[in-house]
């Protein structure tokens, strides 16, 4: 079983794409804002979308290794569509809601000793962050296939 995991190229390509996306986040944030935010290594949101990189790399790798005309690839496409839509749509809107709710709490509690935990605002992605994750995922799959295919 352990040997099977080690030789699962689709799994490794996906994990590498996800890890690379997470690794790049603080550096790309620095280029944009000129401040280091090392916590981005362990958070969702930010540039590039690691969710999109993970699922798109898996989808493309499945197509390359197993075939683009297989039911498994069709399932991977469906899953990728859900994850990418969620990353750019639902989760982005949830982040906007959290931002507004936090502002309301700040205004409501101004001057009061009550401390409320703020909601996490960076849980979704902009379309650019998702596209960057998709491109990263495709590149990782192509490079992985070039190495292991």
**Percentage of the residues of the chain whose pLDDT score is greater than 70:** 87
Report the C-alpha gap between 21 and 125 in whole angstroms: 13
Tell which wins on pLDDT, 145 or 126: 145
Average pLDDT of 104-112? 70
pLDDT grade, residue 119 (50/70/90)? Answer: low
Q: What is the DSSP letter of 40?
A: G
Which of these, 127, 137, 128, 125, lies nearest to 53 by C-alpha position? 137
Residue with tokens 């994850």: 83
Tell which wins on pLDDT, 37 or 111: 37
pLDDT grade, residue 92 (50/70/90)? Answer: low
Copy the structure tokens of residue 132: 């960057």
Structural contact between residues 105 and 18, judged by C-beta atoms closer than 8 angstroms: no
Average pLDDT of 75-99? 83
Q: Show me where the domains of the chain are located.
A: 2-148
**Percentage of the residues of the chain whose pLDDT score is greater than 90:** 62
Helices and strands counted in the chain (H then E): 6, 0
41-58 pLDDT, tens digit per residue, is 988 778 999 999 999 999
Which sign, positive or negative, has the C-alpha torsion 76, 133, 87, 8? positive
Q: Is the pLDDT of residue 36 over 80?
A: yes
């Amino acid at each position: 079983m352990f040997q099977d995991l080690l030789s699962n190229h689709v799994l490794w390509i996906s994990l590498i794409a996800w890890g690379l996306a997470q690794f790049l986040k603080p550096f790309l944030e620095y280029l944009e804002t000129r401040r280091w935010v090392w916590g981005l290594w362990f958070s969702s949101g930010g540039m590039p979308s690691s969710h999109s990189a993970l699922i798109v790399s898996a989808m493309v790798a499945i197509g390359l290794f197993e075939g683009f005309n297989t039911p498994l690839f069709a399932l991977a496409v469906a899953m990728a569509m859900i994850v990418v839509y969620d990353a750019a749509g639902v989760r982005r809107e949830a982040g906007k809601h959290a931002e507004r709710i936090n502002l309301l709490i700040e205004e409501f509690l101004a001057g009061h000793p009550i401390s409320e935990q703020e909601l996490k605002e960076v849980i979704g992605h902009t379309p650019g962050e998702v596209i960057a994750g998709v491109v990263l995922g495709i590149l990782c799959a192509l490079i992985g296939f070039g190495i292991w295919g």
